[in-house]
Structure 1
Amino acid sequence: MLLQSAWFFLWGLLWAVFFMTDGFDLGIGTLYPFLGKSERDKHMMIHAMGPLWDGNEVWLVTAGGVTFAAFPLVYAVMFSSLYSALMLILFALILRGVSFEFRNKVDNPAWKKVWDICIFVGSFLPALLFGVAFANIFQGIPIDGEGVYQGTLLTLLNPYGLLGGVLFLCLFLVHGALWLAIRADGDLSERAGSLAGKLWPVLTGVAVVFLVATYIFTPLYNNYLATPALFLVPLIAVSALVGIRYFLMKKAFFIAWAASAATIVACTFFGVIGLFPNLFPSSLDSEYSLTAYNASSSPLTLKIMLIVVLLFIPVVLAYQVWAYKLFSVKVTDGDLAHEEMY
């Protein structure tokens, strides 16, 4: 049981790292038509995330791979139950990646406008739908004893699911605006920082409503009430959220962005800890729920994978820390002249 529990929290950690890293470029892409007032602004926004966005999505592949290898039954049921939503996310991410590459291939306003719209759609949809998917997991998915989903895509678009989508979207918008304030130069940086400040109260309000709705619609608080020490996790999330505002006022954008990253990680773990040991709970009957214990691979598989992860994940994390430090400097007009940088 110890191996299954360890892999449950590793699974949650990988999703948290993905949301923390890819969240800012999903946020920038969603803000693209609103902050990109000129061609220079648009170039700078793409350059701000250009060197990092594809590396960030490696964590999505890793999280999916871990689900498949460590909890194959969960992978099978999840990807069949949430098939429509996950395919929409996949196609949107593909569309976004293609847009970055194709936008500047033809110097034509109509051509660029099409790909500008694709950048927005390819960023907005994943930001919203990841939140919808996880909020539905928190409250339970209508799966029967055979693991068959008893619903449609519209079933997922319930009030609590949509509220989760809006929360994720707000988290990513603030995260993206802060990264843009760090990386952009001149007026765009100022506007991004100002927008982050305006979005913060919206994020805070949505987070409060989500916490109340979570108490009403889900059993996530049961683990916290059973072990009050776990309330430290949402307390960290609240403290980090307040820290965003504090450092924004001081125009310490990088520290504010780090606080935003901590908020996203803590919010993800709030859900993961509340779910434990459930990975894919059933809203029809708790007996049908898939847990870390009844849906895991063999102990030998988990043990071998754990050794591999403990050896290589620190290397990947070290590389990403180095990459973020390297690309935390301002994008200049000289950088924009290099087409290979997007």
Structure 2
Amino acid sequence: MSPLFRRLVPAAVLLSLALVVSCGDSQNTALRTAFLKELGEDTILPTYREFDTRTETLASALAALEATPTEATLTEAQSAWRATRSPWQSQESFHIGPSEELHTGAAVDQVPSTTGIDSLLAGDSSLAEAAVAELGANRKGMLAMEYVLFDADGGNAAVLARLTTAEGNAGARRRAYLKALGAVMHKDAEAVHTAWEPEQGNYIAQLATAGNSGSKYATQKDAVDEVVNRLIACAETTELKLSKPLGFATGGTIRPEQEEARRSDNSLKDLGDTLQGMERVWLGANGNGGLSRVVAASNKKLDETVRGELAAVRSALEAIPPPLRTALYNHRESVEDARAALAQLRATLTTEVVANLGVTIKFNDNDGD
């Protein structure tokens, strides 16, 4: 503070200003502490518990399909796959801590090498759980399962024919592969879930006590930075899931092969679930907390802007006639509207929210794409 300012402002006013700043800092710290605790307890932990439970159900359904390949067991396995996909997509916006350290994302949701999978299935190498666990990430996880479980063109009749073919042992190998994939992914889900559980890995405490002794996060800012950076990365990745098949990198030529979950026609549901995760980070699990409460304490207008942009993304996604693979051609404008809404949300998060919270932007996996 300048000497001139000190002379012009009475001592009592200076004391009042100091108290306001001090109280503001204290309130801000308390709000962030409450946010981090709430995020872990009400959003992250319940989501990973759900993901663990649903992967167990999926593993059982794939084991039943392996033993008895029928229309009924195939449909059950497909339903279990879709149910498992939902919490996984939701966690994209808070994919921090253990999921990063355990490389759960690569294990669960890597873009598959279809030629690699075909080569594996055509060979005679072991497809036991232990052997499949050692495969590269592009031959494991949910999208590898999708490649074998679904056929958007031929339908279940084509899938079942490949699972039951008597030619050599091709059908048996496909079923064994699916069974092993389910078992491996359940272990991955169990590992990330237990890492967060209070009575086990207790990472939830690491997040809640950020800045205190014993926490992985040396400062509270480090934890908030990680959460906000992840939220921004999620918004960017979600935008790319539309801009890539729209052909933004190829002069507007539609690239259907760039649609992520095209075989199951689950892409729009995936996007909605991912948005739900972003909403929970911003609004809290019950709609009245999250980063919204932290930001609104100093800038209600900015909070209202982000709330409006989240709602605009949801409205735009819901306006796309399913499935996405046909909407890309027949309702391109609606897909472009959703992409634009996501781009606007990302821009606001990257600029105004970052400035409001004093976040340090870090590079993410999409930088340089």
TM-score by length of 2: 0.31
TM-score, length of structure 1 as denominator length? 0.33
Higher helix share: 1
Which has the higher relative contact order, 1 or 2, with Cα contacts under 8 A spaced 6 or more apart? Answer: 1
Give the number of the structure whose alpha-carbon radius of gyration is greater. Answer: 2
